[in-house]
Homo-oligomer: A and B are copies of this chain.
Amino acid sequence: MAPLPKQTRQWILANPPKTNVQLDGPNATFSLRTTDIAPLADNQVLIKLKYLSNDPAQRGWIQADADADRLYAPPVRAGEAMRSYGIGEVVQSKAANLKEDTLVSCITDWQEYKVLDAAACTPIQEDPAAGIKATHYIGALGGPGITAWYGLTEVVRTTADDVVVVSGAAGSTGSMVVQIAKRVLGCKKVIGIAGGAKKCRWVESLGADICVDYKSSSFQADLAKATEGYVDVYFDNVGGHILDLMLKRVKRFGRVAACGSISTYNDPEATHLKNWTEVIMNRIEIKGFIVLDAFAKGKGPENMGHLRKAVQEGKIKMQDQEETVVQTKFEDIPRTWMMLFEGANQGKLVTELKA
């Protein structure tokens, strides 16, 4: 066994951004430093990170003018390590119930090693026979999967009678929304919105009746055609212009699950809802939510149970859970994360830390 490290590199939030994240230059958003690893206290473990989760929500945590009162999680402040979900291996343990070599999912930072209370770690199990990989626990079987389940079933009360549109349909949450809506809930029609023909065909392979390419010059007409007769539910992962267009495509008394707004996180000025009066005229219900609500309401384990059952019954196939796993040098963690905002990933965007 290699000797245990005494230090770890970590990425610090150096300059909280107001608009675009800067990778380089004097105002770079993040900076790299090396810090000592504290000795373990009782019931603590030392984790070696293997995978980092890349989540649009992280952008909200670092917003320059973030008001701590209004965030659902503490903001990351200048000088603090950048927070992230991750998967790692226990390399040292002072906790009787968490042995070395166990694979865990956890809330960590962008660093190589992290000291955590054992209670803050969730042991996970890869299952090659069932097609379950470690990274699925930060994707289809983790936050994004539960977000999709909770949002569809609880927030907008989706049933088989509904026609559903989901934006960001090739993303980690959106791709689960498509599968749950079509293959589990049996929705009448499921329409994806994604960027580029390749992603759209993939979304259709997951069960969408059609996936509309927002990068196409005919997008607006294509969307109108795909949503002819209007739709009951819009699951919004992107906000901005597509949300605006969708306000005209949601049925009278239709429902919008406001899950994300990735198109505006780097440009808060971009939410320009020309069609706002549709909300009034067509009595649209819009409900914001985050996945932590499922857990706060005691629905987390239940929703996770539904997901597992859908997998066991073959309605959701693990081999369909495509991921974009980017082998990343520690120095390049921010660069890989930024791919989220370029729409570079198909399925979950995972940072695999190079040894």
Q: Which A residues fall within an 8 A CB radius of B?
A: 60, 67, 69-72, 230, 239, 248, 252, 258-261, 264-265, 268-269, 271-290, 293
Contact = CB atoms under 8 A, between A and B. Distances in A.
Contacts of A282: 70, 72, 288
Per assembly, the copies of the chain total: 2
A285 B283 contact: no
Nearest to A278: B70
Contact of A285 (B67, B272, B275, B285): B285
A9 to B, nearest CB: 30
Nearest to A248: B70
Contacts of A268: 274-277
A286 B283 contact: no
B288 A284 contact: yes
A291 to B, nearest CB: 11
Contacts of A248: 67, 70
Given A261-B277, A269-B274, A293 B289 contact: no
Nearest to A73: B281
A217 B259 CA distance: 35
Given A248-B70, A276-B239, A290 B281 contact: yes
Contacts of A67: 248
A180 B146 CA distance: 41
B293 A280 contact: no
Contacts of A293: 283
Given A70-B248, A248-B70, A287 B283 contact: yes
Contacts of A275: 268
A160 to B, nearest CB: 24
Given A260-B280, A261-B277, A286 B289 contact: no
B271 A276 contact: yes
A76 to B, nearest CB: 15
Contacts of A289: 280, 283
A281 B258 CA distance: 9
B288 A280 contact: yes
A234 to B, nearest CB: 13
Given A72-B252, A268-B275, 11 more contacts: A60-B281, A67-B248, A70-B248, A239-B277, A261-B276, A272-B273, A281-B288, A283-B290, A284-B288, A285-B285, A285-B286
